[in-house]
């Protein structure tokens, strides 16, 4: 048995009964298996591998009010450190809410886990959150692959998804930054993004994205736009003059970085022009900020 397989089995054992993050109104029953200990808050350190950076303050306050009334119904999960100290594995929202509510101790499952297992558990638990958007899921998948050394197939098994589903999420990370941000802020949905992925040209991706946002296009409408763009053109149409590969790469990289249309016009003797398009004065100021960035 390989070390990776052994690690996988060990993590699956650690994940058995691992509590998922509950919402403010969700009061689950204690997990089966394993003992629960009441641990003073002062002895619990935060998880350095916590992949979740943003916590909604209003929802935390609502959860804290529930904790004041009911206590922590779903125990957090920790690992034991030296000198009677503990480190959080899962349940940071509950831990924060307990502190806001003024509790002195919280119920916790004490597990055994090394740093590698801690990272994987934290990432998998984060993926299981119901409020994650598609881009956040993609980022967590990428971290599991890069930092935990798992394949896409192994990742699919651990998160209960088909390999093709994992692949579709990972492909989102190849979209231009502006489109990724639009997906993250819910300006577009996963279906829109999946349609845009099949467009090979960055400029065309951005054009369709802007049209989607401005006209509030449905996923089906975007899929139709992409189909028309990518279907073979009649042979009678003259072929569009294409840039050399090196110039095309530069043009695409600039368009992706600036999130706007950029035209590279090479001329003789190595000279040329770069044309950067903008839609408004605000867009121009945004571009100037990017260009002037140290």
pLDDT at 151 over 80: yes
Structure-model confidence comparison of residues 231 and 126, the more confident one: 231
Find out whether 251 and 276 touch, Cβ atoms under 8 Å. no
88-110 pLDDT tens trace:
888 888 888 999 999 999 999 88
Question: Which pTM does this prediction carry?
Answer: 0.51
pLDDT at 5 over 80: no
pLDDT, one tens digit per residue, over 218-276 is 999 999 999 988 877 666 555 556 788 888 888 888 888 888 898 888 887 778 889 99
Q: What is the 3-state secondary structure (H, E, C) of the chain?
A: CCHHHHHHHHHHHHHCCCCCCCCCCCCCCCCCCCCEEEEEHHHEECCCCCCCCCCCHHHHHHHHHHHHHHCCCCCEEEEECCCCCEEEEECHHHHHHHHHHCCCEEEEEEECCCHHHHHHHHHHHHHCCCCCCHHHHHHHHHHHHHHHCCCHHHHHHHHCCCHHHHHHHHHHHHCCHHHHHHHHCCCCCHHHHHHHHCCCCHHHHHHHHHHHHHHCCCHHHHHHHHHHHHCCCCCCCCCCCCCCHHHHHHHHHHHHHHCCCEEEEECHHHCEEEEECCCCHHHHHHHHHHHHCC
In this structure, the answer to whether residues 222 and 249 fall within a common structural domain is: no
**Where in the sequence is the domain holding 224, given as residue range(s)?**
189-230
Q: Average of pLDDT values for 201-208?
A: 92
Asked whether residue 89 is assigned to any structural domain, the reply reads yes
Q: In this structure, are 193 and 99 located in the same domain?
A: no
Catalytic status, residue 92: yes
Task: Using a pLDDT cut of 70, give the percent of the chain over it.
Answer: 80
In a domain, 94, yes or no: yes
Residue 24, pLDDT score:
32
Query: What is the percent of the chain where pLDDT is above 90?
Result: 21
142 or 24, which is more confident?
A: 142
- Of 92, 117, 136, 178, catalytic: 92
Please give the pLDDT value at position 105.
92
Question: What gap in Å lies between CA 83 and CA 63, rounded to an integer?
Answer: 31
Q: What pLDDT does residue 223 have?
A: 92
CATH number, domain with residue 23: 3.90.1530.30
Q: Is residue 281 part of a domain?
A: yes
Q: How many domains does the chain have?
A: 3
Are residues 91 and 7 part of one domain? yes
For residues 9 and 82, membership in a common domain is answered with yes
In a domain, 44, yes or no: yes
Using the 3D structure, point to which of 198, 230, 262 is the last residue of a domain: 230
pLDDT at 98: 92
Domain boundary among 179, 205, 230: 230
Instruction: Kindly state whether residue 106 falls inside one of the protein's structural domains.
Output: yes
Residue where one domain finishes, among candidates 100, 117, 134:
117
Q: Are residues 85 and 54 in the same domain?
A: yes
For range 176-191, the mean pLDDT: 90
Kindly tell me if the per-residue pLDDT of 56 is higher than 90.
Answer: no
Would you say residue 176 lies in a domain? no
Whether residue 46 sits in one domain with residue 78: yes
Is residue 235 in some structural domain? Answer: no
Which single residue is written with the structure tokens 């590279």?
264
pLDDT, residue 172, reads 92
């Amino acid at each position: 048995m390989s070390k990776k397989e052994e690690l996988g089995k060990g993590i699956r054992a650690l994940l058995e009964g691992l509590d998922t993050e509950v919402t403010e109104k969700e009061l689950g029953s204690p997990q089966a298996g394993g003992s629960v200990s009441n641990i003073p808050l002062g002895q619990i350190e935060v998880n350095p591998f916590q992949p979740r950076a943003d916590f909604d303050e209003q929802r935390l306050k609502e959860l804290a009010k529930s904790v004041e009334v009911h206590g922590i119904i779903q125990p957090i999960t920790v690992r034991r450190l030296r000198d009677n100290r503990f480190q959080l594995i899962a349940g940071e929202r509950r831990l924060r809410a307990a502190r806001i509510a003024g509790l002195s101790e919280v119920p916790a499952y004490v597990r055994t886990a090394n740093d590698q297992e801690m990272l994987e558990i934290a990432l998998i638990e984060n993926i299981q959150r119901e409020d994650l958007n598609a881009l956040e899921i993609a980022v967590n998948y990428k971290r599991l692959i890069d930092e935990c050394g798992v394949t896409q197939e192994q990742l699919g098994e651990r998160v209960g998804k088909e390999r093709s589903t994992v692949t579709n999420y990972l492909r989102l990370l190849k979209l231009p930054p502006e489109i990724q941000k639009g997906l993250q802020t819910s300006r577009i949905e996963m279906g829109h993004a999946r349609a845009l992925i099949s467009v090979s040209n960055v400029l065309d991706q951005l054009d369709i994205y802007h049209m989607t946002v401005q006209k509030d296009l449905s996923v089906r409408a975007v899929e139709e736009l992409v189909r028309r763009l990518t279907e073979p053109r009649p042979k009678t149409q003259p072929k569009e003059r294409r840039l050399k590969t090196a110039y095309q790469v530069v043009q695409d990289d600039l368009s992706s970085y600036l999130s706007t249309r950029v035209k590279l016009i090479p001329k003789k003797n190595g000279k040329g022009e770069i044309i950067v398009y903008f839609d408004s004065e605000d867009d121009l100021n945004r571009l100037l900020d990017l260009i002037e960035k140290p």
